[in-house]
Amino acid sequence: MPEIPDYRTRRTAEYIVRDLLVRSGYEVIRVAQSHTHESPGINLVAWKDGNVLFICARSSRRGSVASDIHALCRNVGRCRYPGNLEYWIKHRAGWARYLIRVGGAVPLPMLS
């Protein structure tokens, strides 16, 4: 991992996902939601060729994956996001990426 301050904070997952998206041609902005008391929150908004992604990026050591997905599914049901909502989770073996729908999460391939 690069030796820059972004990678030495608790927001490491967000910065790694941001860098992966940028390398895949997306424009990305980081969203700071720490003041909203809403968990899980959206960390990143990315877009490319008219495709808008709202992304919740986490490491597996932060909270429960099942509870995060459940909360995100509720948000999709309320039509809170005018694009695709994705959940990215970092495990020891690597990254997993999911498309969030009202009924659950659909596994997606990682970006190349």
CA-CA distance, 57 to 17, in Å (whole number)?
7
Mean pLDDT (the chain) is 82
Please give the pLDDT value at position 82: 80
pLDDT digits (tens, 9 = 90+) for 22-45: 999 999 999 876 544 556 788 899
Q: Among residues 52, 54, 56, which one has the least CA distance to residue 90?
A: 56
Interior/surface letters 94-109, b for 16+ CB within 10 angstroms, e for the rest: ebbbbebeeeebeeee
Residue 84, judged by CB atoms within 10 A of its CB (0-12, 13-18, 19+), counts as middle
Which of residues 5 and 68 earns the better pLDDT score? 68
Question: What pTM, to 2 d.p., does this model score?
Answer: 0.80
- Is CATH 3.40.1350.10 what the domain over 5-108 is classified as, yes or no? yes
